[in-house]
């Protein structure tokens, strides 16, 4: 806060004190309003009792901590700017989109991982994330990374529903399930890891047929989730994955430009996903299926970083920023940046909390009415 000038500081005269109090109240009100404005305005009489999230590392708040996998980050410097510097298993320096969405909806500030051993019964009432870093729509993707597949995440969701029934009764549980918001975020690891940088699928599929494989899995997931009672389901598009620092390193040539073949594959899948959701809306009564496009917002941040308060777009804050992620990004590396606020990416694959905020809140505001 800017200090008050001498002529406006507290003094003996009542007029001076009155002016000072007015200014302080005005500044406090502005701060309060800016906090309130961060919350989404829901349609009249609309309620969202809980947020339920599925997907990959972008929305995993610690499920991988409890798996026998190398794809985890429950160590420093992850969590550098999270609640006093605590590494929780979130793949960033601070909060991640699942947290920001829950907060924007006015549900709670943080969305816990379902596999968190400290999860309380009351946490179930307002939602959890089943996401697992390294997973994807392609069933092969989670096998390679030894993480939770989307089908396994659905099994855990069924378990969650059973626990909810025991906690509040089947009637209230059914209401929570039907009125909650569901977010699915996956697909990036399929393209970045399973298709482009390994031979596991490339020998059998070209990009169009591989994105068809991904789409079939995504469509089946949505239909099964609907069959379990979910109605408000949003699927987040794949971002411009070719512009992520690690993919620049692996596929962007000596200049580490954006790997445009990666981006074209992402756009192709996104187009197919949007069309499929429109088709499913007609088939699934009372469904609210929302395609949430983040591709162009993130691309704009990368192309015009100064408009969003960023300086560094082609490498992450951790280590060299060109390839390190998860276990390669650790507190022993002296290269980790000092001012993370200048960076779009925290490690070579995941954005910073500041970058997430630049995407989540405006994009969700754009689409919120489609859920009701």
**Which residues are marked as active site?**
57, 347, 350
Residues in CB range of 74: below 8 A, 6 or more apart: 62, 65, 87, 88, 89
- Please provide the DSSP assignment of 261-319 as one string: HHHHHHHHHHHHHHHHHHHHHHHSTT-EEEEE--HHHHHHHHHSGGGGT--B-SS-SST
* Overall size of the chain counted in residues: 372
The residue written with tokens 């569901």 in the block is 182
Q: At CA 207, angle to CA 201 and CA 208, rounded to 5? A: 120
Sign, CA dihedral 239-156-71-127, equals positive
Tell me the β-bridge partners of 129: 53, 113
- Please provide the DSSP assignment of 3-45 as one string: PPPGGGS--SSHHHHHHHHHHHHHHHHHHHHHHHHTS--PPTT
């Amino acid at each position: 806060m800017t200090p008050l000038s001498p002529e406006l500081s507290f003094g003996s005269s009542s007029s001076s004190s009155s002016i000072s109090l007015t200014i302080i109240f005005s500044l406090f009100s502005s701060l309060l309003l800016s906090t309130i404005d961060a919350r989404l305005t829901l349609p009249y009489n609309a309620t969202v009792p809980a947020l339920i999230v599925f997907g990959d590392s972008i929305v995993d708040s610690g499920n991988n901590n409890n798996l026998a996998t190398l794809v985890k980050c429950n160590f420093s410097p992850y969590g550098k700017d999270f609640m006093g510097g605590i590494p929780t298993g979130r793949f960033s320096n601070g909060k991640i989109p699942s947290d920001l969405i829950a907060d924007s909806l006015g549900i709670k500030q943080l969305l816990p991982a379902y596999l968190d051993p400290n999860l309380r019964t009351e946490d179930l009432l307002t939602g959890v994330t089943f996401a697992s870093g390294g997973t994807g729509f392609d069933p092969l993707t989670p096998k390679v990374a030894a993480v939770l597949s989307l089908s396994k995440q659905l099994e855990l969701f069924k378990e969650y529903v059973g626990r909810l029934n025991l906690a509040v009764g089947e009637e209230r549980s059914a209401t929570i399930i039907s009125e909650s918001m569901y977010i699915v975020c996956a697909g990036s690891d399929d393209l970045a890891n399973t298709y482009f940088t390994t031979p596991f699928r490339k020998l059998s599929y070209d990009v169009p047929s591989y994105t068809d494989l991904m789409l079939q899995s995504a469509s089946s997931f949505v239909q099964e989730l609907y069959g379990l009672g979910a109605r408000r389901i949003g699927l987040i598009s794949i971002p411009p994955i070719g512009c992520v620092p690690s993919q620049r390193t692996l596929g962007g040539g000596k200049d580490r430009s954006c790997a445009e073949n990666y981006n074209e594959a992402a756009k192709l899948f996104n187009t197919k996903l949007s069309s499929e959701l429109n088709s499913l809306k007609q088939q699934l009564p009372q469904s609210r299926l929302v395609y949430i496009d983040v591709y162009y917002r993130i691309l704009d941040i990368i192309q015009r970083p100064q408009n969003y308060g960023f300086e560094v777009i082609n490498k992450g804050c951790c280590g060299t920023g060109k390839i390190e992620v998860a276990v390669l990004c650790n507190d022993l590396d002296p290269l980790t940046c000092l001012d993370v606020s200048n960076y779009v990416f925290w490690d070579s694959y995941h954005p910073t909390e500041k970058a997430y905020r630049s995407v989540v809140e405006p994009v969700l505001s754009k689409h919120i009415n489609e859920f009701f």
